[in-house]
Structure 1
């Protein structure tokens, strides 16, 4: 007997329903390489509001509250002034939008160097060392040869970028002079071969869902025009339709009838004519459209409440959970994408603003969720009550010394903005730990107590 080869398949198979067999209809479904040209990208962004919002909203929310610098007040003032001079916030927002749209954009750090092909020496940047910031897109910057040296700082990234300047002259730019925004992550360039050195447009994976939603909305809009149709049955209409005089008489007859109906709401017909009106069934169309919009929302990873700007539907629905998850995603974009991309720019910015680099200077992104004044007051009261409990009501009952707790509270209230200007007043009047205990006790003992109402 010959050898029998047994084949095992790790899947669900049913010969009766054809599930898992070659006759299964789902077996004919497969994915193809999406091809989205720059012309299609621009047309979608300019011609439809959904692609525009999908591109703009996360970029806008990432930069909306911006970030706060942690340093001495005078240093913070200098850095913020330099950010305003260079329009850092606006340039990052523009590059983030264009990076999401085209799959690649960059902010060029202009320092006035004669040879931009050389690596940018950050430590040599002095006061006002940054001359300008310029936003360039993937369409303007051509990525050069990919660095395949695993020991290189620029491994798996282009060694240089090429910009076509005046008179067609090629300008070579070193990647250290660029703040890169690559849009959606691109698979291995060896497979795609379409986005060498760049990412992919956010619209690549979402455009089918967008087109389905736009088509559904368009079809519903067309159906509105056919929502009500008047039907009039005319004796002998089919037999006489070829007669030109008959056609003119019909058109004139019912134009007059329609005019009369429009004036007084009365339709005049011959006794042998029959009239009826049919209305299209529009119930349920909103649910169908919203189902497609939810698919777009999921594809873009933007809550429907933010994408459409509408209140959440459903009993007891607030949308708080959806927006919290969305804000967590935006925070992830800020921490994992924007911060690494802007790290070299920030080093240049600090030096350009102050002339030096104090290692104690750093920045934090402001939270997107803003508390109400009542919530802020409740938190402030809770912290104050907790501080009183830690200190105790009598001397010797302190869990934490008053001086240490006072300094901690000053830092807390300064960072969260509960007491604006607190730093300045502390500098003027001094900390609790810097006061003379004997003098403080004497002032407390000699201060007369006030009786309420006196």
Structure 2
């Protein structure tokens, strides 16, 4: 007979610690597909402050400083006026919040001049061409078939979206007419089939951490009411339970005792009764609660100082590093998510505001971190000193001409807000170099005048 190979699986099992059994608390974690219904999403957002802040804070911080248009002053005024008319900032904020909450929302660009099924051509939008902007969620806007053409701009995205309007009439909208906000990325909609052309709610991956924190807070709150328990040992109590007269007498007896104690702090008991008071230890509860809040903070990618609105704790703690990392994250959202999503809308806004498209017009997102007046003054002084050094650093030979350096400084001081309106005043009064005497005038002034 051939040799028989026997495989044995050995594992450590302890009935005392339950290690290796089905009740092992350190057993392997198995991940399953999370399912979060719209009702659960709405209930979490309405019923708990943590989900609401996790949804709202990044969206609010992405929009609160907004953006700075770079163009001629009159053009900037027209664009900002058009943004105010359409409430661009408010609409983007609303769509961003709802996209994060439901996993999908869109801003419909209403031009009222073409069939919404046709692609939107920004170059055809004239002055005041944008009539309205409408925020829609994925619950109202159904995604159509996925475009599988790799040559298409909309590859792996819905070809069209369907909106059911008044009287059940269905409106088909081309994706170019929508500014899309998809919440969290769906890993693979081909496998799950649940996203249906949209993303996932931000709460899907964070809800367990949120519920653990909320449960811990609830248990701590219950423990507070049980922090002090009075225990009174009554002789014959067990034997007499069930006697209605005895129960009433006991209730009246200790109601009176508590009343007397509440008035003067004195508890009157029979000589045979025993009294003791037990208090729960609450010293470590704050650390436990904050540990759960830090887990929520990590899950939401929002610093505890921003999530809770409190100053950082601990020796030499400032929270500066955490907030800087958070601001970098918000800047990434602005540049990598909002800017591409709003690209076609921005082209329409410029044309709707000015009636044309000047390629020199662009914008930059305003920084979230604001410098103090002293920091601004120090930077202004540093730049000014550097300019003086550049002019006089080559023993009389200029590395950069005064005119070029002057123009660069005017542009710098205007854009960073050090000297607002400087470019306009120079256009009105002229440059300092233009007011200085020319070399010929200096020589003529230095030459003595001959008197005949």
TM over 0.5: yes
Name the structure 2 match of 1:133: 133
TM-fit CA distance, 1:394:
10
1:363 is paired with a residue of what secondary structure?
strand
- The whole-number CA distance in structure 1 between the counterparts of 2:437 and 2:335 is 45
Q: In structure 2, how many angstroms separate the alpha carbons of the residues matched to 1:187 and 1:163?
A: 26
2:352 equivalent to 1:335? no
The Cα shift of 1:335 comes to 0.3
| Aligned-partner Cα distance in 2 for 1:4–1:310 | 68
- Matching residue of 1:288: 288
Instruction: After superposition, give the CA deviation of every residue in 1:372-393 in whole Å (9 maximum; x if it has no partner).
Output: 1110001101111111111129
Corresponding residue for 2:112?
A: 112
The answer for the alignment partner of 2:450 in structure 1 is: none
Q: C-alpha root-mean-square deviation of aligned residues, in Å?
A: 2.5
Residue of structure 2 equivalent to 1:409: 409
Structure 1 residue aligned with 2:423:
423
> 2: distance between equivalents of 1:126 and 1:386?
46
Q: Could you report, residue by residue, the CA deviation over 1:350-382 in whole angstroms, capped at 9, with x for unpaired residues?
A: 000000000000000011111111100011011
Structure 1 residues 382 and 347 mapped into 2: Cα distance closer, same or farther (>3 Å)?
same
**Structure 1 SS opposite 2:127:** coil
* Alignment match, 2:364: 364
Partner of 1:245: 245
Question: Residues of 2 paired with 1:377 and 1:118: CA distance?
Answer: 53
- State the partner residue of 2:46: 46
Counterpart residue number, 2:306 = 306
1:153 aligns with 2:126: no
Q: What is the alpha-carbon distance in structure 1 between the residues aligned to residue 253 and residue 136 of structure 2? A: 65
Q: 1:158 to 1:277 in 2, by over 3 A?
A: same
Are the structure 2 counterparts of residues 260 and 121 from structure 1 closer, same or farther at C-alpha, using a change threshold of 3 Å?
Answer: same
CA distance in 2, matches of 1:224, 1:235: 30
Match for residue 72 of structure 1? Answer: 72
CA–CA distance in structure 2, aligned partners of residues 58 and 318 of structure 1: 21
String of CA shifts for 1:379-424, please: whole Å, max 9, x gaps. 1011111111111299834332111111110000000000122122
Matches within 5 A, 1:205-224: 205-224=205-224
User: How far has the Cα of 1:30 moved from its partner?
Assistant: 1.4
Aligned twin of 1:10: none
Distance in 2 between the 1:145 and 1:203 partners?
A: 26
SS at match of 1:381: helix
2 CA distance for matches of 1:3 and 1:410? 91
Deviation readout 1:70-104 (Å, 9 max, x if unpaired): 00000000000000000000000000000000000
1:274: how far off? Answer: 1.1
Relative to the length of structure 1, the TM-score reads 0.91
**Offset at 1:15?**
5.4
Please list, as runs of the form range in 1=range in 2, the aligned pairs for 1:341-420 lying within 5 A after superposition: 341-392=341-392, 396-420=396-420
C-alpha contact (below 8 Å) 1:406/1:432 kept by paired residues: no
Is 1:254 the equivalent of 2:254?
Answer: yes
Separation in 1, partners of 2:69, 2:4: 73
Write the distance in 2 (CA, Å) between the matches of 1:228 and 1:23.
38
- The whole-number CA distance in structure 2 between the counterparts of 1:435 and 1:275 is 97
In the alignment, is the contact (CA less than 8 A) between 1:407 and 1:431 conserved in 2? no
Aligned equivalents of 2:213, 2:21: Cα separation in 1 = 31
TM-score by length of 2: 0.92
Bigger mean CA deviation after superposition, 258-267 or 80-89: 258-267
- Cα 1:225–1:410, aligned 2, differ >3 Å: closer, same or farther? same
| Structure 2: tracts of 5 or more residues without a match | 14-19, 447-452
Task: Note the C-alpha offset of 1:326.
Answer: 0.6
